[in-house]
Amino acid sequence: MAIAAVIFILAGLFFFFVGVVGVLRFPDFYARLHAAGKADSIAAVLVLIGVALYNLQEFNVGNLLVSIKIMLIAVFIYVASPTATHALTKAALVAGVEPWSKRKKKP
Amino acid sequence: MKTRVATFFIMLAFWVIMSGMFDAFHLSLGVFCCLLVAHFSHNLLFPETTGPQRSWLSDIVGVTLYLPYLLWQILLANLQVAWIVLHPRALEMIDPHIFRFKTKLKRPISKVAFAQSITLTPGTITVNIYSDEAGEQPDEFAVYALTKEAAASLPGEMEERVAKALEPANG
């Protein structure tokens, strides 16, 4: 169980790392949102699954309840994160942030 | 009345999970609070809807069948975007652009589910849903895609799956 938990947490950390690299490398606001949203949608959930499994090493009702609560956090992230990403994108479009494009390169 | 009872039991299950105490005192507190909440806000959880209707049960079954597919898609798309991010020539591989497509989804809940699925899948973000007030034209999704391949996969299979999960069968 502990090994599985560690694998999940490490995979989550890998995707968080990729997310951070993406935020740093991508050219504009919108593309950076992609990287940030990805870290939310898979990395956080992988880490949470890992923590929930680690917590279940000693199986009893109390630990099971704590693990269910941890998974409820994951459900909340899955509802809230796309909403936030969508709101940010729309707000940026309304505010007039120009999307970066290959076709009109800077002189 | 049905919505009140359903809200009560959902709230009670949530209470029991959150409190973790099973003695009579805490449980009775929970029952009391859930009764109050169910009485005052049952129409928040089950809003009165117009338009095509379906029973909750088939909605729940549909969503349950849809979730594994969504998780699998999220995993695949994540690996793709991770590959792009870590690629030395990432800027040559991406081609960000906004595109629009028409959807055939009718119920608000299925449009929301589809928009959230698009945003959850890395590489695509739903920017806006332009709906025709008169309801004659199908709604239009505006999607911001990171690469050409991500854009090409929409609406496609995911819309079919959402339609199967949440739209009325004869719609």
Q: How many contacts, defined by CB atoms under 8 Å, are there between A and B?
A: 92
Chain A residues touching residue B78 (CB < 8 angstroms): 15, 38, 41-42
Give the phi and the psi of residue A40 in degrees, each rounded to 5. Answer: -65, -50
Say if the Cβ atoms of B94 and A62 lie within 8 Å.
no
Say if the Cβ atoms of A82 and B74 lie within 8 Å.
no
* Count of Cβ atoms closer than 10 Å to residue B75 Cβ: 14
d(CA A40, CA A35): 9
Which tens digit of pLDDT belongs to each residue from B32-45? 988 898 888 877 77
B10 within some domain: yes
Domains identified in chain A, total number: 1
Q: Which residues contact A7 (CB under 8 A, 6 or more apart)?
A: A50
- Whether residue B134 is predicted with pLDDT greater than 70 in this model: the reply is no
B140: part of which helix (H) or strand (E)?
A: strand B140-145
Residue B51 has a pLDDT of 56
Using CB atoms, pick whichever of A18, A25, A93 lies closest to residue B127.
A93
* Mean pLDDT value of segment B13-17: 85
Q: Across all residues in chain A, what is the average pLDDT?
A: 80
DSSP A97: P
Domain extent, residue A48, equals 2-95
Decide: B73 and B158 in contact? Cβ < 8 Å.
yes
Residue A92 has a pLDDT of 80
Determine the distance from the C-alpha atom of residue B166 to the mean position of all C-alpha atoms in its chain, rounded to a whole number.
Answer: 10
Distance from CA of A1 to the nearest CA of B (A): 22
Do residue B82 and residue B136 come from a single domain? Answer: yes
B96: contact with A, CB 8 A cutoff: yes
Which tens digit of pLDDT belongs to each residue from A43-89? 888 888 898 888 888 778 778 888 888 888 888 888 888 888 888 88
Do residue B66 and residue B123 come from a single domain? Answer: yes
Question: Which residue of chain B comes nearest to A25, CA vs CA?
Answer: B85
Do residue B90 and residue B153 come from a single domain? Answer: yes
- Whether residue B60 is predicted with pLDDT greater than 80 in this model: the reply is no
Long-range contacts of B17-25 (CB under 8 A, 24+ apart): B17/A65, B17/A68, B17/A69, B17/A72, B18/A69, B20/A61, B20/A62, B20/A65
Do residue B66 and residue B122 come from a single domain? Answer: yes
The token pair that represents B147 in the structure block: 């690469």
Do residue B62 and residue B21 come from a single domain? Answer: no
Say if the Cβ atoms of A99 and B97 lie within 8 Å.
yes
A102 within some domain: no
A104 within some domain: no
Do residue B96 and residue B14 come from a single domain? Answer: no
A54 within some domain: yes
Residues above pLDDT 90, as percent of chain B: 0
Decide: A18 and A91 in contact? Cβ < 8 Å.
no
Distance from CA of A60 to the nearest CA of B (A): 12
Domain extent, residue B6, equals 2-45
Residue B170 has a pLDDT of 46
